[in-house]
Amino acid sequence: MISLTIPIPKRPTHPTGIWNWLTTIDHKRIGILYGVTAFILFLTGGIEALYMRAQLATPEAEIVSPEVFNQLFTMHGTTMIFLAIMPMGTAFFNYIIPLQIGARDVAFPRLNAFSYWTFLAGAIMLKSSWFLGGAPNAGWFGYAPITGVPYNPGHGIDFWILSLQILGIASLAAAFNFVVTIINMRAPGMSLMRMPLFTWMTFVTSLLLILAFPVITVALIELMFDRFYGANFFVPAAGASPLLWQHLFWIFGHPEVYILILPAMGIISEIIPTFSKKPLFGYPVVVLSGVVIAFMGWMVWSHHMFTVGLGPVANSVFALTTMAIAVPTGVKIFSWMGTMWRGSIHFSTAMLFSVGFVALFIIGGLSGVMHSSAASDAQQQDTYFIVAHLHYVLFGGSIMALLAAVYYWFPKITGRLMSESIGKINFWLTFIAMNLTFFPMHFTGLDGMPRRIYTYGTEMGWDLWNAVASMGAFLLAASILVFMHNVVRSYRKGEISGSDPWDGRTLEWSISSPPPEYNFAEIPVVETRDPFWAQKRDSVATARVGGGSGEGEHDIHMPQPSYWPLVVSIGLLIGGYGLIYNVAVAVVGGAIALIAVYAWSFEPVNEPEEH
């Protein structure tokens, strides 16, 4: 209790400027921080990809060394999954969920700030490995025993282990927060089956995260004990089975795939109804299929391990469960098409990206069914065919949906519309470049090109399609530049959007753009699905949904900013570096984090106000 006697510094009160951003606990600002940071990290992951594509564009190229190439694909995968797609999803969870459920903030605003800063700490830690003796080089999957000290004496893997644990803390904290927020902070009348689909999928994603991340955390802790303290978890010489790592990794890893794609499906399920002017077709079934996908996601992990020798029985079982997962996925796709059927479809850029998502996701889904067939997968596993599949799902799926989300919610966040004409160039360029990059990988894969090779001979016959894929990759980079141009231009001088530019259906469109700090002056009462649409179309209904005029604004107490979340995260970051370089530093980092947690615990949400 010593900390109680330490004079706690004054509460931060900066209304603007850098200090405000550092101490903010407003879910909207944290959402923006998440989005901007994740996008910058997405660019770094993209640059890593471009280096690889440059190296593979021609046979026997010498643009990067094999060692650097291995670091590149490890960092590209880890970055895109943990530092780009997941936090971009979290950015929208943060910004949009409270607005969609009619809440003023998330359940734990300071925990939310802590999630962001800890995510940033993890990102800094992982990315700094490039400048501190080399990045991790064993792939994002880090199969034992190649991550062991005998095969990997450098610090790269240590950075990977520690940064992923820090990122895990951040993701878990955010997931706890969203689960509680969605269960407990819905506006009156918003029953579970009236929740917007994006909120539903965020909820399911967060539950998956809560259950999946401890598994990888334990696996990483075990690997850490092996590397730092000479333990034997994954050491074959001590009798350990390196397959344990693969099981643990994929028991986490497959739910993780759904953690990446379910938010995207939620986004699409918002945009397609809005621009078709129809409610989501088969809402209960779409919700259910999302839940079923999440549930079944726990029963398919060994399809990543069809070639490790689990035997024909296990391979058959996992082949069947994997195929079964195509059913709820198909239901979702048909429901989106059913929503558009007899709709009044307006092809805004957001809608184009959403339809692009559906079209590309079908391809990714079908190639997924192809390698769910374990016997046929023996030819596809660890080839470029898999690379093609996963990019159709993660780029064609997640990234396309996230770009759609930016076009859709940008006016809500900034109050300005993004340029539709640039947007259309952006979409078609992305769509074409994406196919140009990843479709040829199906060919090279079936032509026997393994993944993760830094070079190949011209006699293999893989030159042409690798060159095409590389060209596509650079075109894809150009499309991202177009996107960035559009964001910056529209942020500066985009057309003023008003509160409801798309004739929206859900609560976030009922309040001004950008929303006031407290979101809703009066908490709305919800009586139906798509409450805002119902209110707009039903002249009899009393206007119970809406931001109101801001009357009574003075009585709304918003939680106040805090330093402590930032300080805890800094403590974790110092602790992480300390574990690699110097235990004393780790102790200092741990102490900083601990003291800050205590200070945070005893800091009230609001300082008593003087009236």
Partner 1 sequence: MLEAGADPHGENSEHTTTGLNHRKLLMWAFLGSDCMFFGTLIGTYLVSKGRSLVGPYAVDVFDIPVTSVSTFVLLMSSMSMVLAYAALTRGSLKGFRIWIASTAIMGMTFLSFQVFEFYEFANHEVHFKCSTPISDLTEHERTFIDKCAGQDASHEVEEQHGLTPRTNLFGTTFFVLTGFHGAHVTLGVVWLLSLLFYSFRGGVTAKRNLDVDLAALYWHFVDVVWIVIFTVVYLFGVFPGF
Partner 2 sequence: MSLFRHHPTRLVRLVPLLLVFIVAGCYPDHPQSTFDSTGPVAQSQLNLFYWIFWAAVFVFVTVQSALLYICLKFRRKPGDPDPEQTHGHNKLEIIWTVLPVILLAIVAVPTVLTIFDNANSPDPDGMHVNVVAHQWWWEFNYPGEDVKTSNELHIPVDEVVNVSLETKDVIHSFWIPKIAGKVDMVPGNSNKMWIKGEEIGIFHGQCAEFCGESHANMRFQVIVESRADFDAWVASEREPAVIPVEPLAKAGLDLFEGDAQCWSCHKVEGSSRSRGTKGPNLTHLSGRQYLGAGIVENSQTNLRNWLTSPNDLKPGNIMYRDAAVYNDPDKALSDSDISALVAYLRSLK
Q: In the complex with partner 1, which residue's Cβ is closer, 191 or 421?
A: 191
Stretch that binds partner 2, among 177-185, 324-332, 395-403, 569-577 (CB under 8 A): 324-332
7 binds, among partner 1, partner 2, none (CB under 5 to 8 A by kind): none
155 binds, among partner 2, partner 1, none (CB under 5 to 8 A by kind): none
CB of 77 to partner 1, least distance (A): 22
> Residue 376, interface with partner 2 (CB under 8 A)?
yes
DSSP SS3 for 157: helix
In the region spanning residues 244 to 263, those forming contacts with partner 1, defined by CB under 8 A, are 244, 247-248
Q: Is the peptide bond before 145 cis (omega within 30 degrees of 0)?
A: yes
In the region spanning residues 99 to 158, those forming contacts with partner 1, defined by CB under 8 A, are 107-108, 110-111, 114
- Type of residue at 402: L
350 binds, among partner 2, partner 1, none (CB under 5 to 8 A by kind): none
Stretch that binds partner 1, among 10-18, 206-214, 274-282, 571-579 (CB under 8 A): 206-214
Task: Name, in order, each residue with C-beta under 8 angstroms of 126's C-beta and a sequence gap of 6 or more.
Answer: 75, 78, 79, 82, 83, 136, 159, 160, 163, 164, 167
Q: Is the peptide bond before 524 cis (omega within 30 degrees of 0)?
A: no
Stretch that binds partner 1, among 84-92, 167-175, 358-366, 453-461 (CB under 8 A): 167-175
First to last CA, the chain: 32
Among 213, 275, 353, 443, binds partner 1 (CB under 8 A): 213
In the region spanning residues 553 to 582, those forming contacts with partner 2, defined by CB under 8 A, are none
Query: Radius of gyration (Cα) for the chain, nearest Å?
Result: 24
Among 341, 347, 428, 602, binds partner 1 (CB under 8 A): 602
> Residue 410, interface with partner 1 (CB under 8 A)?
no
Stretch that binds partner 2, among 122-130, 325-333, 471-479, 483-491 (CB under 8 A): 325-333
Place of tokens 């029953």: 191
Q: In the complex with partner 1, which residue's Cβ is closer, 131 or 229?
A: 229
Stretch that binds partner 1, among 26-34, 428-436, 497-505, 600-608 (CB under 8 A): 600-608
DSSP SS3 for 523: coil
Phi, psi angles (nearest 5°) of residue 450: -70, 160
| Angle, CA 269 vertex, CA 265 and CA 332 arms, to 5° | 65
Interface characters, 294-313, with partner 2 (x: CB under 8 A):
-------------xxx-xx-
> Residue 135, interface with partner 2 (CB under 8 A)?
no
- Type of residue at 585: V
Interface characters, 38-77, with partner 2 (x: CB under 8 A):
---------------------------xxx--x-------
Task: Name, in order, each residue with C-beta under 8 angstroms of 130's C-beta and a sequence gap of 6 or more.
Answer: 71, 75
> Residue 331, interface with partner 2 (CB under 8 A)?
yes
How far is 300 from 282, CA to CA, in rounded Å? 26
CB of 275 to partner 2, least distance (A): 8
How far is 76 from 152, CA to CA, in rounded Å? 19
Q: Contact at 8 Å (CB) between 529 and 279?
A: yes
186 binds, among partner 1, partner 2, none (CB under 5 to 8 A by kind): partner 1
Stretch that binds partner 1, among 72-80, 225-233, 424-432, 495-503 (CB under 8 A): 225-233
How far is 582 from 29, CA to CA, in rounded Å? 35
Q: In the complex with partner 2, which residue's Cβ is closer, 184 or 316?
A: 316
In the region spanning residues 216 to 245, those forming contacts with partner 2, defined by CB under 8 A, are 236, 239-243
> Residue 603, interface with partner 1 (CB under 8 A)?
yes
> Residue 567, interface with partner 1 (CB under 8 A)?
no
> Residue 225, interface with partner 1 (CB under 8 A)?
yes
> Residue 95, interface with partner 2 (CB under 8 A)?
no
Q: In the complex with partner 1, which residue's Cβ is closer, 123 or 173?
A: 173
How far is 556 from 546, CA to CA, in rounded Å? 16
> Residue 241, interface with partner 1 (CB under 8 A)?
yes
Q: Contact at 8 Å (CB) between 77 and 139?
A: yes
Among 221, 464, 481, 583, binds partner 1 (CB under 8 A): 221
How far is 39 from 65, CA to CA, in rounded Å? 27
Residue 551 burial by CB count (10 A; 0-12/13-18/19+): exposed, middle or buried? exposed
> Residue 346, interface with partner 2 (CB under 8 A)?
yes
Q: In the complex with partner 1, which residue's Cβ is closer, 109 or 411?
A: 109
Among 193, 218, 464, 591, binds partner 1 (CB under 8 A): 218
295 binds, among partner 2, partner 1, none (CB under 5 to 8 A by kind): none
> Residue 21, interface with partner 1 (CB under 8 A)?
no
Q: In the structure encoding, which two tokens stand for residue 499, read together?
A: 């509160």
Q: In the structure encoding, which two tokens stand for residue 265, read together?
A: 């499906």
In the region spanning residues 141 to 170, those forming contacts with partner 2, defined by CB under 8 A, are 143, 145-146, 151
In sign, the C-alpha dihedral spanning 302, 303, 304, 305 is positive
Interface characters, 269-288, with partner 2 (x: CB under 8 A):
-------xxxx-xxxxx---
Residue 426: its H or E element: helix 420-446
Q: In the complex with partner 2, which residue's Cβ is closer, 145 or 565?
A: 145
Q: In the complex with partner 1, which residue's Cβ is closer, 121 or 271?
A: 121
> Residue 15, interface with partner 1 (CB under 8 A)?
no
Q: Contact at 8 Å (CB) between 603 and 564?
A: yes
DSSP label at residue 12: P
Closest CA to 436 of 472, 392, 389, 391: 472
How far is 50 from 40, CA to CA, in rounded Å? 15
Q: Could you tell me how many residues make up the chain? A: 611
Q: Contact at 8 Å (CB) between 487 and 410?
A: yes
DSSP SS3 for 450: strand
Bridge partner residues of 450 (DSSP): 383
Q: Contact at 8 Å (CB) between 212 and 256?
A: yes
439 binds, among partner 1, partner 2, none (CB under 5 to 8 A by kind): partner 2
Q: Contact at 8 Å (CB) between 141 and 249?
A: yes
330 binds, among partner 2, partner 1, none (CB under 5 to 8 A by kind): partner 2
Closest CA to 114 of 586, 570, 587, 518: 570
> Residue 13, interface with partner 2 (CB under 8 A)?
no
Q: Which residues bind partner 1 (CB under 8 A)?
A: 1, 4, 107-108, 110-111, 114, 172-173, 175-177, 179-180, 183-186, 190, 210-215, 217-219, 221-222, 225, 229-233, 238-241, 244, 247-248, 597, 600-606
